[in-house]
Structure 1
């Protein structure tokens, strides 16, 4: 059996050579190798190459001993794959290019290497492996309290680079730098590069994408064509979504203007969050006010916490993820976004949660969310507990949703819009608290319906691929349209979203049959009061009933700021007129007939798919039947919950506006809708008579002005931001034409902000490591440039100012890792700043002030 190979043989002999076409464990291919594989997976143009794995490096002997035969075979394979042209040989250590340690430039990268010379390739590979033991690497490991776990080696074709640069994905505009030729001068900080921004919103559209902010010191023009710039943004943001964090990418352009991406790594030691408006923009399609933002923050926090409890997750795990729960949603550009980084963290609550987010192997800002050290036995026990809770919850799901509906209906009836206008402020404060109580404590029944719909929908989709992988079925769209088959099983369901239109059609039938009502509708000139006054008692009551039951539904129904049809019934009349016309048009199908037709189509498609489960697959029929029923039921329940959600939000609007009118009467505010610019807790305090510490009128005016500015921003759907930051209007401002840098004459030196923060201290102006004796702990290091050999000094200083370099230079990368405020690319820094002078370094603005 031993000679047959299999899994045991694979484990005994891990591969020595890997390509970029698969994604391997980072322990085999190292950080750089893994990132190149991920780049290839998203379709990025990566120069052809191979990875000599950590298994190869572990066997490779030093120069005093013969090279093992397997290593020679691996080197020969690399040469055969890559040909005889010039190569670049780079380290790919396990732990290099990580989120907390980059080891930027500390291990070897060697180029050009003659691919036709086996000895040259071997020597370059040896040097990369040996650099793991370099003194600078050991010092870095000790200072950062990290340790490399092995070294792989990347061997690639060398791009004949006409220009090279870097691109950072943090922010709504992507910042970058470039220089002529290979990027080594940029990385070494030997020059001040050109600076640019790319608009991430323009990856596929006609929007201007490139904004040049500064030319490099040699004056070379921006090297990317518009097409290449769009491709760079597309690949960068795709990988950003895949990894769930902010990245910096190194790129090059060859003499034929072809774009190549040669490296991608996380931005180190800077917590960044991935924000997305997917799905949430459907519920909140317009700018949101502070009242809604504060209500949504609390609501989504409770939504996920209560789900975790309902699924039987231990309290200790929930407590460990407190930060993630508190930041599920927030507003950017006055619009709501999901914090996907925190959502991924919450997913890790589940037993074996790492498997759920395997495609996002590293996410930022999740604190203690990574479930390291959890034993498999503990995970299995937790999984059993979760399954027990889930089965119990979903067995009672219809009753749970009915309970949620009763809770909302109770609040809605107690605080009906026709009643809140005469309620005292204290009662209105109770109304706010009752609405919040539903959102924080009663919503779990609705959220279970959401989860059930999502899970069963995906499970049914997966089963259909097994049942009917190639047949177009009743949809007639061919095998390329599997969603049509899937959705055919969900047609003709009695969903809450259709209740209002069916009821409106029935109302239109009655209006059309009533000649006085029909004439009043045509002659009322858009006045609901005139139309309503012309109706008989029975029909008038029926119109009132429709407005009461369904008048809260409409576009923007969750925004709070949008009036409903019930509030402005004049807007109902054009809609009712169109329905009355449609009732009299025989070519238009009634909602009831359309429902019956779709129901029949659903039943035919269900029977057709079930019939395909014959022979050996007959055992799948019970699963198919159960999944179809579960999906249809959960979709219906979810829509019922969504119906009540809209009702609750419109009641919140009614109570808030009633309070707004009281605040205007009391002289506290100027307009009824000023309440939308107060936070929920502030509004409760005002209603309860507790007042605010600041002037309410001035506070509202300030927030209105800010809201108007932010609402005008055109933000992308997905972006990353540093923790604790929001999008400012300046982030989207177009760059001006670059002008030559000139020394400041106002005591302020200006450069490139490389690492955020503000610090003041004594300047230590050094010409090289030989001057290290002039440096005292806590100084601000001022130098012409730095290379990796300066790394030991970085652990002594609290600020950095460099004449040369950019965001990708070694000094910048190390400064960001250590949290050292830094400004680079400062002309004449070493001559204008004298040794020992007190200076202030602002790493956010790029200013260095001479004190």
Structure 2
């Protein structure tokens, strides 16, 4: 920067035609690039920049000099309204785009200009940007102000295909403003212009014609030629002119970001299934500890105590994806069962003998008899309610109160050891098996005496899983409080990452209520991996949900009353049908119904306390370890800690070894795995059905219940749906028509608008806060007893689960009709 530039950089406003605007350190990368292109003759709208130096002071309000200068903008930019956009010195760089990380405010008039500039400026210090930036740094924020283009069509164009890496121009276009494309509010037309000049047009085009598409392709190519590398541009067409709104290097080409490091595919003998429900994406190295400690180490002893004829679960990482299998009691090693071929079932006469003489099977049969005779399932549910859950709650409260940053390395390592010990508490698995047995008994008696299927039976339990609805109930209380406070209601009309920080200045009482809500409900991981931020780390998403509840006038009391009514109606119908049955049948039904109603809430409850919160606490420990290792130059960035296994991260606190290379390799392998998803199964599945009819009554009940429960939870395998309909498992009755919104994880909660049909890989109990905003739900995985199915029934919204490829087939903005009674999703 020259002395003259340095002097002019102190000016509060810099025009795009001023040469100083071409200096990224002053105007930020976005504005500087546009200034360069405008001087080169490209059709870039005029604009002014609030330089980064003017906004470098860490404060909550704009400096007085900036506020005064903004009063001159109407003279400098006569056309209005304006678009106010970020131009950070870190965004639109070759290292990272920061796309979607900063705030943009459209349709700004003079009286709202200062507030819009402030919102954009403050978005540069949000938690989301801090997490995205990692070790790269967030840069300094400049703000760009330009006249809005009244677009007839707008969109983006890539001069290299960002998926395949081929050198061709990919154009995405929508009618009207490009914001509809960026926000997911419209499904774009996708045009492809090859290097040889051939043009591929989508069916039913409305935004572009071939001539306009070629003009956009030519513009993108000229920008690439001028800037010297592949570009991602934003464009708009208005009044016959093609405007260039933004240009940035493509940072998502194959090879950009984490290096893709191939993983050799080595498939162990036997049959393996990928758990797409718990792990819709490859699990992180650190996150694997939840699987090993809570499942692989605990389930063998739990199966033995209940008399389940499964010796142990096994896991294998194949191509970066986690695959599981269950090994039956007494089964020979896979390589002795014919290697990779289909295992052959012994004849029934031999099975009958084995059931009686095999020592391991006899031990499990006796264990099942003891479990049923002592009513172990009911005992476990009682212990959860009266002993285990309170213990978990007390320990979690102590953990959340800790200042991890104030601990010594030894104390931090001890906290990790303690967390892993608690993750391995048997209550998570014990309650699951007990729940399956008790609820299976209800399903079996309803099938036998009433001829009901599982879906009909579950109506008897509707509304009892209060853990699924309590976060939304409390959020509704916040919405009611906000609605009564005009200042808060106004603040919630424009929620961004900085809004939670501003609550106290607007309304201290509401700020305290919101803080209590976050502490009580938000320290939960929404997926089953420590790599994902939780809602306590992104509280602005919760404020957007509060705003949604105000809009839809959600009533938790009406919700609870509707569930109680449906539950009572189902019970009344059952009793009418049983009126002609013997008294013993009626008493049996009432006894089993009472037990199931006591057990039913425990499923979601134990996931909250033993899994969701524990995963969040592990994440906090991992981040603190990562901060220390990054400060000591043993990791390149704090977030790289997730690519170390938990115990290796612990060791790194003390051994002084550099972990940057192992983390780089693990990150690259995970990135490769995400780009190369494995098949749903490897090997041949066992043939035939388990011969449970050969077992004594108690062992038969236990094992049928576990097989039934796991099938109802994970769902049956589904074939890929065609383009006309999506078919899955009917999970919550009703029919709803609305706009689809594909949400691949909790990081996309902000896409959800009131009344949307949310389409996602799966949900966890932490998603319960967004259910009041949904019109219906469609998931790729899960069965009728899975978390998304349970929460949908509790909220009374239609749901189809286990649809296989819904997130690939459906697009944002498509009109779909969800039939939760038949399991069919109609497109169009």
TM-score by length of 1: 0.44
Which has the larger Rg?
Answer: 1
TM-score by length of 2: 0.45
